[in-house]
């Protein structure tokens, strides 16, 4: 049985702006991260800032102003470790997209159709499969409070995630 790589994710942090590598250890050795940044992986992660914020809502994201990570302390403390790991992979794709000058929040697309999201989810789903998550676990991972059931189904279809026969909206990720 595969599992997430040997990394460290802090579960209790203070609200502050810090360096990624001061809190998230071992990501420079993760193949999924190395595929994102290549030979610049160590440099990018060393220079990447993380803003920890206090809120019961939200998970994590990337600043559209300077490309740093924004992470909920509540999510780190109460979220599922596998999902936090996958969210970090997802957001690191957005960091790379930002570095490449891509528009992360192009409102001319719905969230589930946005090219930057599709790319980030494709990479994340590949890693979810690599660590041994089932199609149901992956489908449940896609379920977040800002997407309707039909939007989740549409995203799953775009990503090639096998749709479960019946799944309820009460199964979305909790924080």
- The reported pLDDT for the residue numbered 164 is 63
The pLDDT of residue 1 is above 60:
no
Q: Which residue has the higher pLDDT, 12 or 132?
A: 132
- The reported pLDDT for the residue numbered 168 is 45
- Strand order, beta sheet including 49-53: 16-19, 49-53, 69-72, 60-62
* Phi and psi at residue 48, to the nearest 5°: -75, 130
The pLDDT of residue 172 is above 70:
no
- The reported pLDDT for the residue numbered 58 is 81
Residue with tokens 């690191």: 92
The pLDDT of residue 112 is above 90:
yes
Cβ neighbours for 77, distance < 8 A, ≥ 6 positions apart = 11, 12
- The reported pLDDT for the residue numbered 100 is 97
Dig out the tokens for 13 from the structure.
């942090």
- Work out the average pLDDT over 111-117: 95
- The reported pLDDT for the residue numbered 163 is 73
Cα–Cα distance measured from residue 70 to residue 73, given in angstroms and rounded to the nearest whole number: 10
**Cβ proximity of 120 and 100 under 8 Å:** no
Of 51-55, 113-117, 122-126, minimum mean pLDDT range: 51-55
Dig out the tokens for 51 from the structure.
């803003």
The pLDDT of residue 127 is above 80:
yes
The total of other beta-carbon atoms located within 10 Å of residue 62's CB is: 24
Q: Alpha carbon 136 to chain centroid distance?
A: 18
Share of the chain above pLDDT 70, in %: 92
Nearest to 68 by CA among 85, 53, 86: 53
Across the chain, the runs of DSSP E, i.e. the strands, are 16-19, 49-53, 60-62, 69-72
**Cβ proximity of 119 and 155 under 8 Å:** no
**pLDDT tens profile 19-53:** 999 999 999 999 999 999 999 999 999 999 999 99
- The reported pLDDT for the residue numbered 170 is 46
The pLDDT of residue 116 is above 50:
yes
Rg (CA), the chain: 15
- The reported pLDDT for the residue numbered 8 is 81
- The reported pLDDT for the residue numbered 169 is 44
* pTM of the model as a whole: 0.88
């Amino acid at each position: 049985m595969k599992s997430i790589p040997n990394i460290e994710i802090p579960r209790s942090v203070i609200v502050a702006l810090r360096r990624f590598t001061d809190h998230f250890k071992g990501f420079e050795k993760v193949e999924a991260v190395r595929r994102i940044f290549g030979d610049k992986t160590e440099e990018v992660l060393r220079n990447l800032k993380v803003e920890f914020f206090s809120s019961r809502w939200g998970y994590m994201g990337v600043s559209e102003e300077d490309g740093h990570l924004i992470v909920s302390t509540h999510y780190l403390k109460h979220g599922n470790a596998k999902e936090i790991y996958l969210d970090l992979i997802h957001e690191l794709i957005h960091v790379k997209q930002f570095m490449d000058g891509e528009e992360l929040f192009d409102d001319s697309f719905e969230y589930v159709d946005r090219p930057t999201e599709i790319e980030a989810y494709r990479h994340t789903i590949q890693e979810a499969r690599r660590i041994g998550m089932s199609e149901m676990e992956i489908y449940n991972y896609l379920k977040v409070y800002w997407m309707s059931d039909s939007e989740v189904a549409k995203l799953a279809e775009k990503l090639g995630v096998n749709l479960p026969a019946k799944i309820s909206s009460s199964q979305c990720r909790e924080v």
